[in-house]
Structure 1
Amino acid sequence: MSFVSDDRIKLIKGDITKVKVDAIVNAANSSLLGGGGVDGAIHRAGGPEILEECRKIRSKQGGCKTGEAVITTAGKLQARYVIHTVGPVWNGGRSNEEYLLRSCYRKSLELAVKNDVKSIAFPNISTGVYRFPKELAAKIAIDEVSNFLKENNSIEQVIFVCFDNENYEIYSKLLK
């Protein structure tokens, strides 16, 4: 994995719903109807507009598949958009989880570019109840974002937002 030192990548510890960016990425579930963790927090903070748009997406395409991403309004959040991506559930690495997690970051960034997003914040995708190993997930996230930024200049800032100390320490080490 090749990590580039890119001044467009930033790391913070905190609540992703409070970050001032054009788009916040939501670690969603395939139903798009909200849930626990970051998904629940984004839906609560953003209000019913997000859920309304998620329901429209569901009726049009039946939810969101693992490794894919969809975009909605951000409702009451400071961001303009929420990009919902469905991370893989860890199954010991036997079910293409690494590829699917990479796809979450790539598809989210592609959607961001299509919607003229200049700044985007990512949570730690799949590392909570989906049990993806945190160190491996961080390496994949940084690698995928770094590679995307090498080929694309339209995104000016990517912020990794870690809610807990463990993920923050892992990202800090990897980004040095």
Structure 2
Amino acid sequence: MRNTIQNTARKREQEEKLNTLLEEFKEDSVQYRDLETGDDYEEKRMALRSLMNIRMPGPMKEDVIRIQDEFLQEEAREKGIVTLDQIPTAAEQYGCTHPAAEKISVWQGDITRLQAGAIVNAANSQMLGCFVPCHKCIDNAIHSAAGIELREACSHYMNRRKMQYGSRYEEPVGQAVLTKGYNLPAEHVIHTVGPIVYGSLNQKLKDDLESCYRNVLECCRENGIRSVAFCCISTGEFHFPNEEAAKIAVTAVVRFLDRYGSDFDRVIFNVFKETDRELYERKMRNLSL
């Protein structure tokens, strides 16, 4: 009975915060100040996410940030935070005999639920997140769950780079940029721009993708981050063939752990699609000494 009352109270508080945030973000947007939504919770939630997605970097009132943070952290709790001890290693799940398999996992699900030292965001060269309302890319999902502070942090980074290299600066492929995780369960986000495959695959594109994995892991070592979850970099909007991408990812991670395994507790290959899960599981089963 008590749990039911508490859950009802939480839902009511969440809806009150949603209504407040929706009005504040509408007012902040100017263009969508008169946006009308129905009474349906999900419709209002999608409207808020859309307004967050299209919002350019810039200051927001502190009390609005506080409410947003409380709202997103409660959403994360409701979705279910997944910890490392809930995810078996490749050695446990697939019987892999390679030493690195003790520190590698394949996990299918929403990367924004993972409580890890860092999750990896497949960013674009502008490094500000996805501006398409409610787009299904990983960039949009991570920024939406983290809150508008993440775009602000990325904007500060890009502004520093533009002061250093010029106003037309774009983040190069294969680098790793570290930010806080804000309202994500993960402590950090590591942003990397993967290669875009416009035509046929070539060695340069393969090398660039390998650099993404290697530099993210090096970023973890440099910052004392002992657990990291990779998304399937470049395989979505950037059209990198899934099977070749999985091969490059596994090879790069295993090689790195062979050298620096003592610096890591876990490296997770996060997959969303069933086809990617099958690809990574097959490669895990083929790991050997």
- Structure 1 residues 95, 60: closer, same or farther in 2, change over 3 A? farther
1:69 counterpart = 2:176:
yes
Shifted more, 85-94 versus 106-115: the winner is 85-94
1:98 counterpart = 2:182:
no
Report how far residue 94 of structure 1 moved: 3.5
Q: CA offsets per residue over residues 137-176 of structure 1, 9 Å max, x none?
A: 0000000000000110211100011011011111011111
Q: Which residue matches 2:54?
A: none
Structure 2 CA distance for aligned equivalents of residues 138 and 4 of structure 1: 17
Structure 2 CA distance for aligned equivalents of residues 130 and 95 of structure 1: 16
Cα contact 1:122–1:159 (8 A) shared by 2: yes
Q: Which residue matches 2:187?
A: 80
SS at match of 2:225: coil
Of the candidates 83, 106, 111, which is equivalent to residue 16 of structure 1? 111
Q: Which residue matches 1:58?
A: 158
Letter in 1 for 2:145: A
Query: Of Structure 1 and Structure 2, which has the larger fraction of its residues in helix?
Result: 2
**TM, length-normalised to structure 2:** 0.58
Structure 2 CA distance for aligned equivalents of residues 103 and 95 of structure 1: 12
Q: Which residue matches 2:258?
A: 150
Runs of 4+ in 1 over 6 A off after TM superposition: none
Letter in 2 for 1:45: A
Of the candidates 2, 21, 27, which is equivalent to residue 122 of structure 2? 27
SS at match of 1:96: helix
Q: Which residue matches 1:165?
A: 274
Q: Which residue matches 2:219?
A: 111
Cα contact 1:64–1:70 (8 A) shared by 2: no
Say what the alpha-carbon RMSD is for the aligned residues: 1.4
Of the candidates 140, 151, 160, which is equivalent to residue 40 of structure 1? 140
SS at match of 1:124: coil
Q: CA offsets per residue over residues 124-146 of structure 1, 9 Å max, x none?
A: 00000111000000000000000
Q: Which residue matches 1:129?
A: 237
**TM, length-normalised to structure 1:** 0.95
Structure 1 residue runs without a partner (length 5+)? none
Structure 1 CA distance for aligned equivalents of residues 220 and 227 of structure 2: 9
> Larger relative contact order (C-alpha < 8 A, sep ≥ 6)?
1
Query: Of Structure 1 and Structure 2, which has the larger fraction of its residues in strand?
Result: 1
Structure 2 residue runs without a partner (length 5+)? 1-96, 162-168
Cα contact 1:10–1:157 (8 A) shared by 2: yes
Structure 1 CA distance for aligned equivalents of residues 203 and 124 of structure 2: 17
Report how far residue 63 of structure 1 moved: 4.3
Structure 2 CA distance for aligned equivalents of residues 111 and 103 of structure 1: 12
Cα contact 1:88–1:101 (8 A) shared by 2: yes
Structure ID, larger Rg? 2
Cα contact 2:115–2:187 (8 A) shared by 1: no
Cα contact 1:45–1:76 (8 A) shared by 2: yes
Q: CA offsets per residue over residues 86-108 of structure 1, 9 Å max, x none?
A: 00011312471100000000010
